[in-house]
Every structure is written in C-alpha cells, then in structure tokens.
Amino acid sequence: MTNTADILLVDDDVLAQLMVEDIVDQLGHRFSYAPDGESARKALSEKDFDLVLLDRRLPDTDGLLLAPQIRDENKAPFIVLSSLDSPNDQVLGLGMGAMDYVCKPVEPVVLSARIKACLAARHKSREQTQFSVGDSLHLDARSRRLSVAGRTETLSPAETRLLVCLIRELGRPCNRMQISIAICGREWVYGDRTIDVLISRLRRRLRGSSAQIITVHGLGYSLIEDG
C-alpha cells in the first residue's frame, strides 16, 4: 500500500488517540480524531475515509451504531478497537461489517500490522470486483450485490470477503487460517467461531444455486459448482 490513506479514530480514550496517531504517522497516513458519536457522524458526512478505527464504548452511543454510516454512506472499511472482548461481541462486530475486531489492550506493533493488512485488503479488493460461478451466481464485490438463483441480495462486508476467497479457490479447500486472513487480515485463533457463523450465513444465501459450500473434513471449506 503506497498511497496515503485517511484514517479516522472514533474513541474517547486519550491514550488510544496518542497511540493510534503515532502509528498512523509512522505509516505515513493522515490521522483524524472523533471522541464521540456526534463528532464522528459529522466527520463521516464531511469526508471520505479509507479506514475507521471504532471504539464500542463512546460517551454518547455504542460505536457499532455508527456502522451503517461508515459502511454504506462513507464506503469505508472499519476495525473495531474495543475492551469488549467476548466471542459474542466479536461476532456481532464482524456481523455488522467490521473488517477486524481488535481487543484492548493491544500492542502498537500488532495494531499497526492490522491497519496495514486492512488497507492492503482494501487496495486489493479494488483490483477485481466482478466474480461469477457458472450461470447462477454473480457477485459485484464493490457494491456487495450477489445475484443468485434469480434473486439479488446484499452481503455484509465479511460475507463478501469470504465469498471472494472461496471463489478464487473454486473447487479447492480453504483452511481456517486462509479464510481468517482473507476476512479479517489476521490469523485464526483456536476456538474462534466467526468463520462458522459466516459460512452458515453464506450457505443460506446460496440456496437454489448450483454453487455450494462443502465442508472438507480436516482441511476447511470449499466452494464447488454442482454438476
């Protein structure tokens, strides 16, 4: 990622602000800051960002309530940066469209790596946006519109990244580590059920299609075209 990115931190924690600002500066990107939901909404309405780092516990709202504006209006990927670290919280964040869920406290070097991975994934996703499997499945990754079995659905960002990963390896199994990196930009951790949840959702999306996701025991998941 060589282009300079605009990164917004939404967090009322001064120490988090100082850490993220230092990381963004070291990476050569531009840093903006919003301490609460109201100022974040204003910033998002005035400027297009390349990445948003979003705390959950804001003074005036749960940060996840900003997800629709970040995801659908600003068209920016976002990383949740929160002390709420239960598996349910992480699944909720990713289900709301987060590219990654980073639990506080986090080492600066780890957060820096997550930011770089997210920006690299965003850059790569712009290279190819149209995907097809046979005649019954077409995906526009940019708009996240999936046309399948005569109907059109809008996928979540995480579902889109998962489907793109599977399409690119059509007929070959993708292991959990490979999928986690494609979805979140980080390695899979034993016990993390996020992938299982997303696979289940995507299987429901593909009903009626000749494309289906199968479990390859001991290896992972594979997208195949039936017949």
Q: Is the pLDDT of residue 83 over 90?
A: yes
Final residue belonging to a domain, choices 94, 109, 125: 125
Q: What is the mean pLDDT of residues 147-157?
A: 89
Q: Residue 1: its pLDDT value, please?
A: 40
Structural domains of the chain, count: 2
Does residue 99 form part of some domain?
A: yes
Report pLDDT digits (tens) over 67-81. Answer: 988 987 777 889 999
Q: Which of 67-71, 178-182, 196-200 is least confident?
A: 178-182
CA distances from 55 to 45, 78, 213 (A): 18, 10, 34
- The pairs formed by 117-122 with CB atoms below 8 angstroms and a separation of 24 or more are 117/181, 117/185, 117/186, 118/51, 118/77, 118/79, 118/185, 119/1, 119/5, 119/29, 119/50, 119/51, 120/1, 120/185, 121/77, 121/161, 121/182, 121/185, 122/50, 122/51, 122/77
Both 46 and 116 in one domain: the answer is: yes
User: Domain range spanning residue 185?
Assistant: 130-225
The CATH number assigned to the domain holding 146 equals: 1.10.10.10
Both 113 and 210 in one domain: the answer is: no
Helix axes 194-205, 157-168, angle to 10 degrees: 80
The DSSP string of 58-112 is -SSSBGGGGHHIIIIIS---EEEEES--SHHHHHHHHHTT-SEEEESS--HHHHH
Report pLDDT digits (tens) over 108-148. Answer: 999 999 999 888 877 765 556 788 888 788 999 888 899 98
Both 62 and 144 in one domain: the answer is: no
Final residue belonging to a domain, choices 76, 96, 125: 125
The mean pLDDT value of the chain amounts to: 89
Does residue 1 form part of some domain?
A: no
Final residue belonging to a domain, choices 125, 143, 175: 125
